[in-house]
Amino acid sequence: MLKVCKFGGTSMADAAAFRRVKEIIASDKSRRFIVVSAPGKRNKSDQKITDTLYECYRDLIKTGSFSERFAFIRERFSEIAEELEISLDIEEILDRTEREITEKKDADFTASRGEYLCARIMADFLGFPFVDAVEMVRFDSHGDLNADYTDDKVKNRLKGLDNAVIPGFYGKDFGGNVKTFSRGGSDITGAIIARGVSADVYENWTDVSGFLVCDPKIVPAAKSIKYITYKELRELSYMGATVLHTEAVFPVMKKRIPINIKNTFRPEDDGTMIIPNEQYKCCDDSIVTGIAGKKDFTVIYIEKSLMNSEVGFIRRVLSVVEHYGLMVEHVPSGIDTLSLVLETGQLKGGILSDVVNEIRENVSPDYIHVIENISLIATVGHGMARRSGTAARLFGALADQGINIKMIDQGSSELNIIIGVANEDYEKCIKAIYDAFYKE
Comma-separated ranges of CATH 3.30.2130.10 domains in the chain: 290-438
The closest alpha carbon to 299, from 237, 375, 387, 215, belongs to: 375
Residue 326 to residue 320: CA distance in whole angstroms: 9
Torsion angle, alpha carbons of 204, 101, 136, 130, to 10 = -70
Residue 122 to residue 124: CA distance in whole angstroms: 5
Residue 202, beta-bridge partner list: 4, 259
CB 14 within 8 A of CB 80: yes
- Topology of the domain covering 3-208+243-253: Carbamate kinase (3.40.1160)
- Topology of the domain covering 290-438: VC0802-like (3.30.2130)
Comma-separated ranges of CATH 3.40.1160.10 domains in the chain: 3-208+243-253
Residue 296 to residue 421: CA distance in whole angstroms: 10
CB 240 within 8 A of CB 294: yes
Axis-axis angle for helices 49-63, 90-104 (nearest 10):
50
Residue type, 274: I
Residue 300, beta-bridge partner list: 340, 370
pLDDT attached to residue 243: 76
Question: In 168-195, which positions are buried (b, 16+ CB within 10 angstroms) versus exposed (e)?
Answer: bbbbbbeeeebbbbeebbbbbbbbbbbb
By residue count, the chain amounts to: 440
The closest alpha carbon to 2, from 185, 245, 268, 196, belongs to: 196
Query: Rg for the chain (alpha carbons), in Å?
Result: 25
Segments of the chain scoring below 50 in pLDDT:
none
